[in-house]
Structure 1
């Protein structure tokens, strides 16, 4: 577990947006993760490995380590407001000091993008890990209450069933108590069967299976009128895994399956105009995938400033 000191700040400025035609996706920043996160999460992403992909610097790596971030994606599609993953959250008791007791302006950023919590229709949880469910809830008086009162929260049935059958340590039990069970108890969580060909949960929004990191993880395909995009979840933690797909994270439950999933996703994106949106990629966060020298690389697309989602 990363033992870096907590980070209480978010990157300056408003997050970028990418237009896919009739679908718009915005990055909502939470925090930049501490430098120690990269070597902990991706222990084989050494300086020598990073040096083999010069395109990673300066945006995606410092001199010696990968850079990572925590953010959500806010998607406007078919008249719906959709949030994909909800980050770490504020005021949560966490074993990882970098995630413990945060106090960020995430909800203000979300509202500034045109997504005040009461306006959100769907919250998609790619998988049930601590840094993907935190803003599912917030404190009201002393109770953890669903942050998005009018939303349906979605996750895959395979993901839910896995954790329901798993003996949890105290840190993960705490996460379920404060960030998952209150949504379940409110009746807002829906479990979705996700077959191999995917499951459309809203017009242009398709959950696709991405197992390995967790058994029921999904990635999220966005099908706009002009372009397709893929939100990674933790199937791809960092762009170094394009250059070196065999690099697994230290918390992948099934590393061999994680590699198969990553390779399949990258092969489907390579040399197309589809946009890859990394759930933990630091700015510029997105880009197209190209084959280069027997490997993959990311051609970054920083996005642009966009007006808030319309009422």
Structure 2
């Protein structure tokens, strides 16, 4: 497999950063998703629906009602631990989705520039096992797929693993497991977490919360420190349009009704609170606070701060 050289980490833009008490959260960009993604992923989010939700513009949709989405990870510093939440699409992966097929991004250089060189990452949280959340689990080396983060424990919920282990997967999904999930398990780096209804802590101020529907075992990630908190959405909310229309579901939700229930519960719990919502596919500014509006919700964007200097 041929690859092109990656940009120097010193030349990559600084990662947008938010502080949550003593925790530092960085967004590690992989790629903007094509304009057609929104219409495919959220078919009920028509141009009419989007244009009737004016607060989406200009950040989250354009003037024609086309949704903007992105692929990125969140890198979190917690008491000396380096935690990565989801690993994007990955480079050089054979994928059925043309936008994901054989991607060649500078994600790894961005990760390193943010102080999260692969060998320095301690924990990788996989909110769920979809192709655009596990891709950088592995890289091609000597004709084999090997873990990118050799010193990390990769965490996913046991419910998530058991679901995919028990269903007949189509060829494209089998390929994804073969190149991005099974090599991590075979290397002894995959840990399955029993996630309690009230959530399960995996590090100081870091808790996995069950958020089923998009997949049966999906989790969201709660961060808390010094009285401040944030929630990383996973695919419980693909795009802010689902805040204005919480019953609007993704075409790839395993259980759409349950996904909508999870989304309603999440938004209701966040509305009017100071908790920061970090969207796993939200384009810049990516984060914000949930506010009630017109019987539903909206996102009040929270711009990132000045990145902290790294030694």
TM bracket (short chain): over 0.9
Query: Aligned residue for 2:74?
Result: 73
**Pairing of 1:213-228 with structure 2 (within 5 A):** 213-228=214-229
1:35 paired to 2:35: yes
**RMSD between superposed Cα atoms in Å:** 1.4
- Please give the secondary structure, in 1, of the residue aligned with 2:162: helix
Distance (Å, rounded) in 1 between the aligned partners of 2:256 and 2:148? 33
Task: Give CA deviations for 1:191-249 in whole Å, capped at 9, x if unaligned.
Answer: 00011100000111100000000000000000121410000000000000110000000
Distance (Å, rounded) in 2 between the aligned partners of 1:200 and 1:78? 14
Query: Aligned residue for 2:145?
Result: 144
Q: Is the 8 A contact 1:114 1:308 kept in 2?
A: no
Q: Is the 8 A contact 2:152 2:189 kept in 1?
A: yes
Distance (Å, rounded) in 2 between the aligned partners of 1:258 and 1:309? 39
Q: Is the 8 A contact 1:137 1:183 kept in 2?
A: yes
Distance 1:247 1:28, change over 3 A: same
Query: Aligned residue for 2:300?
Result: 299
Q: Is the 8 A contact 2:21 2:224 kept in 1?
A: no
- Identify which range, 218-227 or 208-217, moves more after superposition: 218-227
- Please give the secondary structure, in 1, of the residue aligned with 2:305: coil
Q: Is the 8 A contact 2:90 2:135 kept in 1?
A: yes
TM-score w.r.t. the length of structure 1 is 0.95
- Please give the secondary structure, in 2, of the residue aligned with 1:178: helix
Q: Is the 8 A contact 1:15 1:305 kept in 2?
A: no
Distance (Å, rounded) in 1 between the aligned partners of 2:142 and 2:226? 44
**Pairing of 1:15-54 with structure 2 (within 5 A):** 15-54=15-54
Q: Which runs of 4+ in 1 moved over 4 A?
A: none
Query: Aligned residue for 2:109?
Result: 108
- Please give the secondary structure, in 2, of the residue aligned with 1:197: coil
- Identify which range, 187-196 or 220-229, moves more after superposition: 220-229
- Please give the secondary structure, in 2, of the residue aligned with 1:64: coil
Q: Is the 8 A contact 2:94 2:101 kept in 1?
A: yes
Structure 2 regions of 5+ residues with no counterpart? 1-6
Query: Aligned residue for 1:257?
Result: 258
Q: Is the 8 A contact 1:112 1:308 kept in 2?
A: no
Query: Aligned residue for 1:184?
Result: 185
Structure 1 regions of 5+ residues with no counterpart? 1-8
Q: How many residues align?
A: 301
